Amino acid sequence: MDGAAPAELELKLRLPRTAVAAVLRHPAVAAVKRGRVRASTLRSTYFDTDDGRLAKAGIGLRLRREGRRWLQTVKGPLDPRSGAGLAARPEYEWPLRAGETMPPLDATRFALTPWRRKLDKAMREGLRARFVTTFERTTVPLAFPDSTMAMLSLDVGEIRAAAGGGRVQVCELEVELESGHSHNLFELAHALAADVPLAIETRSKAARGYALLAPATRVPARAEDAALEGKTSTADALAAMLRSCARQIEANADGLTTEADPEWIHQMRIGTRRLRACLALMRDVAPAAALDPIAAEAQWLARVLGRARDLDVLAGETLPAIAAALRDNTGQAAPGGGAVLRALRSRVLARRKRARDDARAAVASVRFTRLLLAVGAFAARPRFCVGDGTPAAATLAGRARQMARPVLERRQHKLLRRGDGLPRAAPSARHAARLAAKRLRYAAEFFAVLFPRRKARAYLAALEALQDILGALNDASVAADLASDLAGPDATATATLRGWAAAQSAARADTLRAAWHHFTRARPFWSTD
């Protein structure tokens, strides 16, 4: 392929080896199968410098053998179409001479890629084999009713370091788009996941190979802006937002299920909240029949994560803060509060463990996988299945800026209404204001990239400061409610935490008043270009 790089779009999922046969005989596969099943052995050698120069640039370079055929492939970084298990990246591939022995890398091909300089520099520094993948591939050609063509591949094998040592087993399903619409890939996988234990695989074989060479410390994935431009249509903007939310959720899944750091739960909860906020933006433009099932599943995930996160905050932040205040004789707790808090903490830790186990089970479930696949399919559907000639179709065809302005204006107006007398308001009123601020902030963050950066940054900073103080006060109120649930409404522990919540409200009144004043003076970034 010596011309422009084709885009590789493939959906990648993990599965147990015992489930491979179930995929091949599944009715959803049989319904779209367009040719006979083929089996082959693939062996790929990945090259890089000793310091991983190509990996750091998001570039993959390999030689692959299939029978006597050899292919040289260069892949680039993932592009913004990726998410919900779909990997989209540029790919260049060329046949080399056939034979039993591996041919040398053909450096003249590097000039045909956008990364010629990086590849040439790596070649000069010294490219060597870093790891090898060997697997049995079973392929099934697919043809969907709308003429979309794809290839389903089941890979079973291993990745091993070229210099010996570590190795990792591989069993995964890939559905690669050849032509047509990618929503078919998601819908096929969604149907398979109803009967086969599939899980989203966020890492390529190359990424897992590099992890063998130098295991990196994983860090929770934070929210990222969707890739939008001033001329982006509303339909494209909303689809990009959905994919951005899905990327944050799926990127935290493995860490949440295997590691103790509560930040994994926190960041997936943020991703889930952002997803729900994005779905709420679509209420007026997307069919309820398509939107409501996804929204219901997102709400399920949010509830599970929310229980775990609230207990993490209580155990890791609120109770230690109250204990420190007691030690300094500045808290509002009753006498003997230290012993009371220790007893409460014991109950909190036991409840937190159950909540974390529930969150891990939810994220490891097929239900979680199907939620992400449903989000991916929805984002990939042209105009979200909206019919031609409708008001919703006109909105989706228009520029995202046109949708953003009235949406943001309405949400700001609701927050301003909630803010009257906020420093003196009851916890329920502050909670309502916090929800209004959260909804405004998510929408503002989604659309901010469409407007002047400096104006958006100032407005978002003021809104974030307001939401932070409202969130801290809400955490104190939630802690008291959790204490009531764990120890009883009349328990000393509950009275202690209610006293703490009241003390926080009084102590932070001036901070809240200042944050509110600053926010009301912040100029909406969408008001003028």
pLDDT in the model for residue 328: 67
Instruction: Report whether pLDDT(165) > 80.
Output: no
Q: What is the mean pLDDT of residues 186-209?
A: 96
Instruction: Work out the pLDDT band at 5, boundaries 50, 70, 90.
Output: low
Same domain, 121 and 88: yes
Instruction: Work out the pLDDT band at 215, boundaries 50, 70, 90.
Output: confident
pLDDT in the model for residue 528: 65
CA dihedral 73, 76, 79, 81 (to 10 degrees): 10
Same domain, 12 and 72: yes
Same domain, 308 and 328: yes
Which residue shows structure tokens 């389903």? 152
Same domain, 200 and 320: no
**Separation CA 435–CA 382 (nearest Å):** 32
Task: Please name the helix (run of DSSP H) or strand (run of DSSP E) that holds residue 274, with its range, or none.
Answer: helix 263-281
Same domain, 383 and 361: yes
Q: Could you report the per-residue pLDDT of 61-88, keeping only the tens digit for each?
A: 999 999 899 999 999 999 989 999 999 9
**Separation CA 184–CA 190 (nearest Å):** 10
Same domain, 360 and 404: no
pLDDT above 70: percentage of residues in the chain: 97
Among the listed residues 110, 131, 106, the one whose alpha carbon sits nearest the alpha carbon of residue 119: 110
**Separation CA 204–CA 131 (nearest Å):** 13
146: tokens are 């709308």
Instruction: Report whether pLDDT(148) > 80.
Output: yes
Q: Could you report the per-residue pLDDT of 371-400, keeping only the tens digit for each?
A: 999 999 999 999 998 988 999 999 999 999
Sign of the Cα pseudo-torsion (487, 491, 495, 496, in order): negative
Q: What is the mean pLDDT of residues 466-474?
A: 94
Same domain, 189 and 63: yes
Spell out the residues 6+ positions from residue 96 whose beta carbon is closer than 8 angstroms to its own: 63, 70, 71, 72, 103, 106
pLDDT in the model for residue 7: 82
Q: Could you report the per-residue pLDDT of 437-459, keeping only the tens digit for each?
A: 999 999 999 999 999 999 999 99
2 in any annotated domain = no
Instruction: Report whether pLDDT(330) > 80.
Output: no
Q: What is the CATH number of the domain that holds 523?
A: 1.40.20.10
For the question of whether the overall pTM of this predicted structure is more than 0.85, the answer is: yes
Instruction: State how many domains the chain has.
Output: 3
Instruction: Work out the pLDDT band at 227, boundaries 50, 70, 90.
Output: confident
Same domain, 35 and 163: yes
Mean of per-residue pLDDT scores for the chain: 93
**Greater confidence, 267 or 162?**
267
Q: 188, 216, 244 — which closes off a domain?
A: 216
